[in-house]
Amino acid sequence: MCSIASKIPDDQLSRVATVLIGRLGDAIWLVRLTACKAMCSIASKISADQLPEVMTALIERLGDASWYVRQAACEAMCSIASKISDDQLSAVVTTLIGRLGDANSAVRQAACKAMGSIAHIISDDQLSAVVTVLIGQLGDARWHVRLTACKVVYSIASKMSDDQLPTVMTALTGRLGDAVCNVRQAACEAMRSIASKISADQLSTVVTALIERLGDADWHVREAACKAMCSIASKIPDDQLSAVVTA
C-alpha cells in the first residue's frame, strides 16, 4: 500500500484510510507498524472528515507496546501535523511529551521531530511544557536525541518565553562542548537562532563557549560557530571582542 499510495484515486482513498485505521489496532505489531507507515504515505490526502478518527488511532499507537510502532506513530504525526484540529491538539501534545521520555532513544528522537512539526500551532501554555521537556532532551544519553533536540530548539526559538530562555541557554551552552561534532554544530546553529534573546548575564558565557568552537577540530562546527558569533557580534562587550577577533 505504501508503494502505491500516491496513485490511489480520491474516490478510493476514503476506503483505504478506513481499512488502515482498523489495521492500526491489529493484533500483530508488524502490521500496526506498516499501517503507521502507510498513514505517512497518504497523510496529505486524508479528508477532514476522516482525520479525527485517524488521529485518535495514531494517538493510541503512540503508547503501543512495541517501540517500532511508537516510533512510526511519531513519524506519522509529523506527516499529518498541519491538519491536526484544535480539539485534538492537546491530546497529541500530552502524548508526545510522554514519548519524549520514552525508554527507547529512537522513539524519543521521533517524538522530538514530531514536536518540532506541531510547535508552530500549539498554544503558549503547551509550548512551555514542551520546552521544559526538550531542555531535558538536550542532555539525553544518546547523541542523536541531543542532536534532534537542538534542531527543534532552533525551529521554535522565536516562540520561547523570556522566563524559559535562561534555562534553554544554559542547556545549549553545555551542548556547545558536546563530545559529538554533529551536536556541537547543531548547538551553534540553535544559538544563532536565539541570539536576539540572549541576556547580558549569559552573554559572556555564550561568547566564551563559542570562542572555543571557533577552534573546533571539525570545520562544520567552526563554520556554525562563526555564523553564531556574527549573530551576537553587536552585543559582545569590548573586553571580549579582542578574544573573538584573535580566535
**pLDDT digit string (tens) for 53-68?**
888 999 999 999 999 9
**pLDDT digit string (tens) for 75-127?**
998 888 777 877 788 888 889 999 999 999 999 999 999 988 888 888 888 88
Band of pLDDT at residue 213, cut at 50, 70 and 90: very high
What gap in Å lies between CA 169 and CA 50, rounded to an integer?
41
- pTM of the predicted model as reported, rounded to 2 decimal places: 0.83
The DSSP code for 51 is H
Q: Are 99 and 107 in contact (CB under 8 A)?
A: yes
What's the number of CA atoms in the CB half-sphere (13 Å) around residue 68? 10
- The candidate with the shortest Cα–Cα distance to 88, out of 61, 51, 46, 125, is 51
